[in-house]
C-alpha cells in the first residue's frame, strides 16, 4: 500500500501567516491614515477659529482707521492751523507752465 503525503499542511501554514501579516500591516496602515486625517481635521478647525479671530481684528482695525480719517477730524485740524476750504480750487495744468516759461 502506498501512502501519499500531501505537502498542503506547510502551504496552508505559510498562507495563514501571510494572511495574518497582511491583516496586521493593513490595520496599522489604516490606523495611521485615520490618525493623519483626524489631525488634519483638528488643524482645519484651529485655522477656521484663527480666521474668525483675524476677521474680527481686521474689522476693528478698519473701524479705527475710518474713524481716524473722518472729515470731522480733518476740519478741526484745518481750523487749528487756520486753513480754509476752497470751494473752486484752481489746479496747475500744463498750459500754465508752458505759457510761464515761454517769455
Q: Domain limits of the chain?
A: 8-86
Task: Give residue 91's pLDDT.
Answer: 72
The string of pLDDT tens digits covering residues 42-82 is 999 999 999 999 999 999 999 999 988 888 888 888 888 98
Q: Identify the pLDDT of residue 43.
A: 98
Predicted local confidence at residue 94, as pLDDT: 64
φ, ψ for residue 83 (rounded to 5)?
Answer: -90, 150
Cα dihedral sign for 16, 17, 22, 28?
A: positive
Q: What is the pTM of this model?
A: 0.54
Amino acid at each position: 500500500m502506498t501512502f501519499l503525503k500531501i505537502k498542503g499542511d506547510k502551504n496552508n501554514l505559510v498562507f495563514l501567516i501571510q494572511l495574518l501579516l497582511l491583516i496586521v500591516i493593513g490595520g496599522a496602515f489604516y490606523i495611521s491614515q485615520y490618525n493623519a486625517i483626524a489631525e488634519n481635521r483638528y488643524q482645519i478647525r484651529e485655522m477656521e477659529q484663527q480666521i474668525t479671530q483675524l476677521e474680527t481684528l481686521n474689522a476693528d482695525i478698519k473701524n479705527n482707521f475710518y474713524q481716524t480719517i473722518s472729515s470731522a477730524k480733518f476740519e478741526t485740524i484745518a481750523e487749528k492751523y487756520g486753513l480754509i476750504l476752497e470751494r473752486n480750487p484752481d489746479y496747475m495744468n500744463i498750459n500754465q507752465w508752458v505759457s510761464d516759461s515761454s517769455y
